[in-house]
Amino acid sequence: MTSNQVNTTPFSANGKEYRPPAAPVVVICMDGSADEYLDATMAVDRMPNLKKMAAQGFRGMVRGALPSFTNVNNSSIVTGVSPAVHGICGNFFYDADKDEEVMMNAAKYLRADTLLAAAARAGRKVAVVTAKEKLRDILSHQLDGSIAFSAEKANQTTIEKHGIVDVEKLVGQRTPEIYSAEASLFVLRAGVALLQRGMADFLYLSLTDYMQHTYAPDTEASLAFYEAQDAEFGKMLDLGAVLGATADHGMNAKIKADGTPNVLFIETMLTEKFGAGFRVICPITDPYVKHHGALGSYVVVHVDDPSKVEPAKRWLSEQPGITEVYGRDAGCRILEQPADRSGDILVLSARDVVVGRTAAHHDLHALDGTLRSHGGRYEEMVPMVISHPLNPAYKRKAAGDPRNFDIFDFTVNGTH
Ligand code: ZN
Ligand code: ZN
């Protein structure tokens, strides 16, 4: 594939214009990659290609969307806007009118168009590859005819639904186990294979954070994982891609000094203090419990009796381990949330603390021996690395308050 075959027609999505370069564009969401992971691996010289990207292009920190969860930030990255606009604010929300807990992992809950669909309409060959199947539906919204599949279900693709068959043959690897490093590496290798064969020139590759939930940055398992990612980055750069990498959120240990999980069960605490009538929603809850036991650093509270909202807010904000407490209006403004899918009280916890519902709602035995998680303010700042130098306008932008969901803007518009 020569660069003059790449379509450079501008396109726009959600009020932003994109002027793509005449080169393949690859954006990678390194799920759960707190900057410490890159630092630790680069410190022992095991990410030579990322080091080269940082030296020749750009490396800095960007602010993610809150709550610092996977589908919230992936939705922001493919739309370029905050959860207040695109509506995906977790895996779950509570519909008070219907008295129903609603799972939000579907494109029908997305309230904004994706820039990927806009790129495809403008003539780019778009491909989306995710590690987890749960993200594919949202990310492939309106991407009819483009390639979109997950590593998790790589052996089950059809032309009609995924735009591709025989993915295992393409990648040269069997469908990986979802709780593995290979689940993410498969995504990157698929990206390389699609580039090599000229099957795509505008790619979004979204990894999974099982490894980060399980291993600290300085462990050999983590170092080897990042080293293997870096090898695939190198192949993409060799194929002439403009590469942008960021993360959906960081990751922190959420344990006490003795190594046991540091959990505050908010519904239990409120019920003991104020009586019944509180419903805590943990928007991190998803079917992949081995990662985190549905414990993160953000919950919302629904309160039956409106007169209890203010006292509950005040009391919660005085509890050790709770770092931010908001009512619905202020919370939705400051945390960029959609009001109709939020709660009466929004709660964030400390760097080493997770918040849950009641002990019975969380199976701590499902955890892989430790508790590393995310969701709050302390997993909000994440790295951004771009393979090519930024132009003056985007250098200024990077020095302001850049967001992780500007990654396509920076990679597409900032490098030429
Ligand atoms: Zn994630
Ligand atoms: Zn996670």
For 353, residues 6+ apart whose C-beta sits below 8 A from its C-beta are: 254, 262, 263, 264, 297, 321, 322
Assess contact for 66 and 90: CB atoms under 8 A: no
Ligand nearest to the CA of 249: 1
Cα 345 to middle of ligand 1, angstroms: 24
Ligand nearest to the CA of 211: 2
Ligand nearest to the CA of 77: 1
Cα 395 to middle of ligand 1, angstroms: 27
- Contacts for 47-55 with beta carbons within 8 Å, 24 or more apart? 47/226, 47/227, 47/229, 47/230, 48/230, 48/234, 49/230, 49/231, 49/233, 49/234, 49/237, 50/230, 50/233, 50/245, 50/385, 52/237, 53/233, 53/237, 53/243, 53/245, 53/385, 53/386, 53/387, 54/385
Ligand nearest to the CA of 208: 1
DSSP string for 264-277? EEHHHHHHHHH-S-
Cα 208 to Cα 129: distance, rounded to the nearest angstrom: 11
Per the rule left: phi > 0, alpha: psi between -120 and 50, beta: everything else, 147 is beta
Cα 100 to middle of ligand 1, angstroms: 25
Cα 332 to Cα 312: distance, rounded to the nearest angstrom: 18
Pair type for strands 202-206 and 126-130:
parallel
pLDDT at 352 (0 to 100): 98
CA separation (Å) from 54 to 140, 233, 349, 384?
30, 12, 32, 9
Phi, psi of 240, rounded to the nearest 5 degrees: 85, 15
Peptide bond before 21: cis, by omega within 30 degrees of 0?
no
pLDDT at 365 (0 to 100): 81
Cα 241 to middle of ligand 2, angstroms: 28
Cα 107 to Cα 116: distance, rounded to the nearest angstrom: 14
Domains of the chain: 3-251+379-413 (3.40.720.10), 263-373 (3.30.1360.110)
- Please state the pTM of the whole predicted model: 0.97
Cα 183 to Cα 225: distance, rounded to the nearest angstrom: 11
Assess contact for 82 and 65: CB atoms under 8 A: yes
Cα 372 to middle of ligand 2, angstroms: 9
Cα 10 to middle of ligand 2, angstroms: 34
pLDDT at 96 (0 to 100): 86
Cα 210 to middle of ligand 2, angstroms: 7
Cα 416 to Cα 407: distance, rounded to the nearest angstrom: 15
Ligand nearest to the CA of 354: 2
Cα 403 to middle of ligand 2, angstroms: 19
Cα 289 to middle of ligand 1, angstroms: 13
> Token digits for 416?
């030429």
Cα 70 to middle of ligand 1, angstroms: 4
Cα 345 to middle of ligand 2, angstroms: 23
Per the rule left: phi > 0, alpha: psi between -120 and 50, beta: everything else, 68 is beta
For 89, residues 6+ apart whose C-beta sits below 8 A from its C-beta are: 67, 72, 83, 104, 283, 337, 338, 341, 342
pLDDT at 290 (0 to 100): 62
Residue entry with tokens 């990659």: 33
Question: Among 144, 244, 121, which residue's Cα sits nearest to residue 191?
Answer: 244
> Token digits for 312?
């509950």
Ligand nearest to the CA of 68: 1
Q: Per-residue confidence of the chain (416 residues) as pLDDT tens digits?
A: 444 589 999 999 999 999 999 999 999 999 999 999 999 999 999 999 999 999 999 999 999 999 999 999 999 999 999 999 999 999 999 998 899 999 998 999 999 999 999 999 999 999 999 999 999 999 999 998 999 999 999 999 999 999 999 999 999 999 999 999 999 999 999 999 999 999 999 999 999 999 999 999 999 999 999 999 999 999 999 999 999 999 999 999 999 999 999 999 999 999 999 999 999 999 998 766 666 788 999 999 999 999 999 999 999 999 999 999 999 999 999 999 999 999 999 999 999 999 999 999 998 887 767 899 999 999 999 999 999 999 999 999 999 999 999 999 999 999 99
Cα 166 to middle of ligand 1, angstroms: 27
pLDDT at 3 (0 to 100): 45
Cα 63 to middle of ligand 1, angstroms: 14
